[in-house]
Chain A
Amino acid sequence: MLENGPEVDPLSPDNLLCFMNGPLTGSPANMSGRMAVVTKSPLTGTVTDSHHGGWSAARLRWAGFDGLLFKGRAEKPVYAYVEDGKVELRDASDLWGLGIHETIKRLQERYGERDLTVIAIGPAGENMVKYGCWVNEDDRASGRGGTGAVGGSKNLKAVVVKAKKQLTKPADNAAWKEAHSRALATIMDEKNVTAPRKGGLSVYGTNVLMNITSNMGGLPAFNGKVTSFGDGAELLSGEWVEQNILVHNPTCHACPVACKKEVEITEGPYAGVRMESLEYEPAWSLGANCGNDDAASVAAMIDRANDLGMDAIEIGDVLGCYMEATERGIQNGDAGLAWGDHAAMFETIKKVAYREGIGNVLADGVNATANYFGYPEIAMTVKGQGIPAYDPRGLKGMGIAYATSNRGACHLRAYTPASELGLIPLRTDPLEWKGKGELTKIFQDLHAFSDSLDLCKFSAFAEGADEYAAQYSAMVGVPFTADDVMETGERIYNLERYFNNLAGFREGSDYLPKRFTTEPSTMPGSEGHVCELDQMLEEYYAVRGWENGVVPQAKLQALGIV
């Protein structure tokens, strides 16, 4: 990334597009079925890494690779075929224009389903929708940041990996057995949400949070105008899904948790939809954020977003912004979009992918949409990326986490709700801002390391730095401690920030939408609260050793970055 210069145009041939594994990939390590897609984001202009689950990462490792680094632009559409230590570029002209599902089907017909992974872009990526994404195995998206648009700019339609299972062997087998058993025991522990078929994450999936955050006034609804979706949250909840439309509990490589929840819609206008990604975040963005409490429509829209290859979180942010603009009054002749009109939402998503009509505006993201309609203040973004499903007036830690995320508004760089919702032993008050700056730094550093291993973020609901260090050390044969984990995470986070600083994100780049800091919550659980961002930023920069968001040279030297 740095070799091309941080100022590289994200959609130019010079931008690097990386598909990366970690040192535990392909091994029996629990929850290690993650792959990172890394590039400079066309949506934010920052570095971005977006991870997906399934079997792609393990199979890439079994095919002989820890990473694929793409640069340049093919003359005509191609896909990369990876097998047995070789990468070949093959003609994808017949696949260009197809949705994800059909692309995968055709490549499976060509190479056989067995031992095959297909990671692809859809029309959204091809048309360089700024939040076009890569989708693996039909439903597992590297959703955030527009990595698919980068693929589209390079005429790269898919990465196809064929590899038989051959588990990665640890350098120290005895130490590995001990480390693996210890990590597994924490995941299986019935007091943790990860406990198979007992913990909330395993039983209800990520959507277990929907009614919880709503009831505490921490769920941004109607484009963040309010902090709860009331009874509507129950109709979108993991409990409702489990009781009404759940048909299967799929999982990823080496994961006993099985948080994926496959659903099938059997009646109504969306009958026939079967998909496995009715997750909390997109269920919020296309549900509560848009005033829509119809779970079947949400499932259908997520499936459509996946098939078209666009971030199912970002499209909900965009549509929510479009709806609020409509409510305020549109002066340019556009028909607008009403809160909760899921039939119109369903059609608009397709217009975005093909950049048709108003879709061409919406395709450039939330900020572009808000500016187009003349209401820049309703863009619920940080660094150009739409917020996810936590309202920082009810969960204060998310405020500082969104503001300081190196990839724009994001819940996964520092998952402070793990503490604020009491999912881990270190429990903090969600309405207290003091200490959240330091808490955010700790989570950012820890997650930077686990994202690098690459383990599922949910491992942090059970495991900690000790478990990560033991597994890493046993696998690669390098002595490593919990302190090393945190130090490495800190170095990664500072390096990312340094990249962003060089890319133009300087003093004052860490902010929140003003709605969160100036409009008090009116809902039970967080009523009267705003997010005290300035106070938290001061605390955060102090523990980071940064100067108003910029990494000083001395810090870079101390961490061995320069």
Chain B
Amino acid sequence: MKLGGYANHVARIDLSRGDVQYEEYRKNGRVSILAPVAWESATCWKTGQKLIP
């Protein structure tokens, strides 16, 4: 886990299954969180990705 930088790490927790998945947005390019997360909309904008695939 790289700390102290611009990490972009999120954890997806499925409470029904007791399962935790870790994601880094810049690697998989997924966009699934609605604003207000500027790093998401801003970085996607800059990289030309659409907010809603």
Contact = CB atoms under 8 A, between A and B. Distances in A.
Contacts of A561: 50-52
A488 to B, nearest CB: 5
Interface string B11-22: 111111110101
Contact of A73 (B4, B15, B38): B15
Interface residues of B, number: 35
Interface in A382-412: none
Nearest to A406: B35
A22 B39 contact: yes
A82 B22 CA distance: 13
A478 B50 contact: no
A68 B11 contact: yes
Interface string B27-50: 000001111111101110110001
Given A49-B36, A561-B52, A65 B9 contact: yes
B4 A168 contact: yes
A560 interface: yes
Interface in A445-493: 448-449, 451-454, 472, 475-478, 480, 484, 487-488, 491-493
Interface residues of A, number: 66
A20 B35 CA distance: 10
A171 interface: yes
B41 A3 contact: no
Given A49-B36, A448-B35, A478-B46, A168 B15 contact: no
B3 A62 contact: yes
Given A1-B34, A72-B16, A87-B13, A488 B41 contact: yes
A3 to B, nearest CB: 5
Contacts of B12: 69, 71
A18 interface: yes
Contacts of B45: 487-488, 491, 560
Contacts, number: 156
A451 B34 CA distance: 13
B13 A71 contact: yes
B34 A495 contact: yes
B42 A478 contact: yes
A99 B36 CA distance: 29
A18 B39 contact: no
A47 B18 contact: no
Interface string A152-164: 0011100000000
Given A478-B42, A560-B45, A562-B52, A167 B4 contact: yes
A489 to B, nearest CB: 8
Contacts of A74: 15-16, 18
A23 interface: yes
Contact of B39 (A72, A166, A452): A452
A38 interface: yes
A395 B34 CA distance: 31
Interface string A50-71: 0000000000011011111111
Nearest to B49: A560
Contact of B6 (A23, A64, A72, A484): A23
Contact of B33 (A23, A67, A80, A562): A67
Contact of B1 (A13, A85, A168, A453): A85
A73 B15 CA distance: 5
Contact of B36 (A89, A480, A492): A492
A65 B33 CA distance: 15
| Most chain A beta-carbon contacts within 10 A, residue among B9, B42, B43, B45 | B42
A508 B32 CA distance: 28
Given A62-B3, A74-B16, A78-B15, A472 B10 contact: no
Given A67-B11, A89-B20, A488-B42, A477 B36 contact: no
A454 B34 contact: no
A74 to B, nearest CB: 4
A452 B13 contact: no
B36 to A, nearest CB: 4
A454 B37 CA distance: 8
Nearest to A493: B35
B25 to A, nearest CB: 8
B29 to A, nearest CB: 14
Interface in A1-30: 1-3, 13, 16, 18, 20, 22-23
29 contacts: A47-B34, A65-B9, A66-B7, A66-B10, A67-B33, A68-B11, A68-B13, A69-B13, A71-B12, A72-B15, A78-B15, A166-B3, A169-B4, A171-B5, A448-B35, A451-B36, A452-B35, A452-B39, A452-B41, A452-B42, A453-B38, A475-B6, A476-B6, A478-B46, A491-B41, A491-B51, A492-B38, A495-B51, A560-B45
> Nearest 3 A-B pairs (CB), nearest first?
A452-B38, A72-B16, A85-B1
